[in-house]
């Protein structure tokens, strides 16, 4: 074999080796970028869920606050205008809560969405009973309607396990369950 063939053969072997090494490096970089992308996506989803769940809990507390204020107004024998204002406040809080509930069902996962839906149903029942109590108070001229008060308190007690179940599901989904 003469020197020129040996040089060409050596250059070809070097080129193939360099190309192979470059492909290995490229493959490693692609895997690294893919892993980084998956980690960023996971972090983004966790942040989205944390924000969504926090908003839902906040709206749950705001609706609860509006319902309790309405109950206080009904117990204090306020005027029909006060009760109508309480009705509007409860309705506005319900609207915010309902929107936050929908956001949770979109953010998932399924266990958290299901727990949010259960809590939504329980809160809806409590909100509807409050509205019925307010309408009855306006119609009868008094907020001290024992039957409505008893139903109100029963609905309050009934929603508590659903609040706890949502919080447990949310902690599990966020990986903060101790």
End-to-end CA distance of the chain: 73
Q: Would 109 be classed as within a structural domain? A: yes
The per-residue pLDDT for 23 is: 66
- For residue 136, the number of C-alpha atoms closer than 13 Å in the C-beta half-sphere is 16
d(CA 101, CA 120): 7
Residue 20 placed within a domain: no
Q: Which pLDDT value is given to residue 77?
A: 76
Instruction: Compute φ and ψ for 148, nearest 5 degrees.
Output: -70, -40
Indicate whether 18 belongs to any domain.
no
| Distance (Å, whole) CA 124 – CA 126 | 5
Number of domains present in the structure of the chain? 1
Residue numbers of the domain that contains 107: 47-174
Burial of 42 (0-12, 13-18, 19+ CB in 10 A): exposed
Domain membership flag for residue 34: no
Residue 108 in domain: yes
User: The domain spanning residue 101 has which CATH number?
Assistant: 1.20.1420.10
Residues in Cβ contact with 134 at an 8 Å cutoff, skipping those fewer than 6 apart: 70, 74, 83, 84, 86, 87, 90, 143
Q: Which residues of the chain have pLDDT under 70?
A: 1, 9-12, 15-19, 22-24, 26, 28, 30
pLDDT tens column, 52-64: 999 999 999 999 9
The answer to whether residue 11 sits within a structural domain is no
Q: 88: Cβ–Cβ under 8 A, 6 or more apart, which residues?
A: none
- Whether 147 maps to a domain, the answer reads yes
User: DSSP class of residue 124?
Assistant: H
pLDDT of residue 152: 98
Cα angle: 73, vertex 98, 119; to 5 degrees:
85
Is 5 among the domain residues? no
């Amino acid at each position: 074999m003469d020197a020129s063939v040996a040089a060409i053969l050596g250059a070809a072997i070097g080129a193939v080796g360099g190309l192979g090494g470059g492909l290995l490096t490229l493959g490693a970089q692609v895997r690294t970028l893919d892993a980084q992308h998956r980690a960023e996506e996971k972090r983004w989803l966790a942040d989205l869920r944390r924000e969504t769940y926090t908003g839902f809990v906040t709206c749950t507390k705001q609706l609860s606050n509006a319902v309790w204020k309405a109950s206080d107004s009904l117990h204090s024998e306020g005027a029909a205008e006060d009760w109508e204002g309480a009705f509007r406040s409860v309705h506005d809080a319900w609207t915010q809560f309902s929107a936050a509930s929908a956001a949770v069902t979109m953010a998932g996962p399924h266990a958290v969405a299901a727990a949010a839906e259960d809590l939504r149903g329980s809160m809806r029942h409590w909100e509807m009973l409050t509205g019925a109590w307010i309408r009855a108070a306006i119609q009868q001229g008094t907020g001290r309607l024992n039957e409505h008060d008893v139903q109100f308190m029963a609905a309050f007690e009934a929603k508590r396990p659903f609040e706890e179940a949502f919080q447990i599901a949310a902690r599990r989904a966020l990986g903060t369950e101790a």
